[in-house]
Amino acid sequence: MATPLSVSIVHPAYSNLKKYSPFLHFFAGLVFIAGAVYEFKLDNRITAFCEIVIGLDVIALAFMRGFAEESSRLNASFRMIEVIVFGGLSILAMLDQSWITASLLAIATAMYYYIFYCEMKLINTERVAVHHLGVTISNFPKDKELDWEQIQSLEALPHSITIRTTKNKMHRFEFQKAIAFDELEQIHEFCNHYLNTSR
């Protein structure tokens, strides 16, 4: 019997998150600079200086062509900094009784935390796993589990995998790199056993 197999894929949702990463950095940088101006008006010059440095850093990252899209760990690190700064600014705005500003910053904190969660997931898993219970596809906000009873057909090629469910929904993914012949055979063994197909 075949052993469970997990293969790296290029997931469209993950690719979209990578694609929008520079815009998110740019927006965060602008908010940091706006926060710095606010702190400067309150005569908190040290806080304002720190926020300007972080803001310019994050904006510079947004303009580094392709870098923000490909560096998942760096994105997640900056996203965590953005969450901490947005959360801190939200608390400061609450203490200042600026309720609308505090609310907007709290929403930004929650949004950036969710993106941070997704990016951490992207670092750890962008995979399709074929095992005895079915197929697991990495996804947001949680992985998609397909039991063998839910799968109508599964076609594995050296560069891609296509899964069609009994509800006629199709999941197609490109592999990050071509899989080895023995890995392809393992997937075919699962199909033969659980889907009664012969390839």
The number of beta carbons lying within 10 Å of the beta carbon of residue 157 is 13
Tell me the domains of the chain and their CATH numbers. 5-10+125-194 (2.30.29.30), 12-124 (no CATH)
Q: Are 146 and 163 in contact (CB under 8 A)?
A: yes
Q: Are 19 and 4 in contact (CB under 8 A)?
A: no
Compute and round to an integer the Cα radius of gyration of the chain.
22
Dump strand ranges (E) for the chain: 5-10, 127-131, 134-137, 144-147, 151-156, 160-165, 170-175
Nearest to 5 by CA among 155, 138, 169, 130: 130
Nearest to 161 by CA among 195, 127, 193, 194: 127
Q: What's the CA gap between 57 and 24, in Å, rounded?
A: 13
Q: Give the pLDDT confidence score for residue 44 in this predicted structure.
A: 77
The number of beta carbons lying within 10 Å of the beta carbon of residue 141 is 8
Q: Give the pLDDT confidence score for residue 110 in this predicted structure.
A: 92
From first to last of the 199 residues of the chain, give the pLDDT tens digit: 456 666 666 656 666 666 777 787 788 888 888 888 877 887 777 778 878 888 887 788 777 766 655 566 777 787 888 888 888 888 988 888 888 888 988 998 998 898 888 777 766 666 788 888 888 887 766 778 888 899 898 888 888 888 899 898 888 888 878 888 888 888 888 888 888 765 4
Residue 107: DSSP 8-state: H
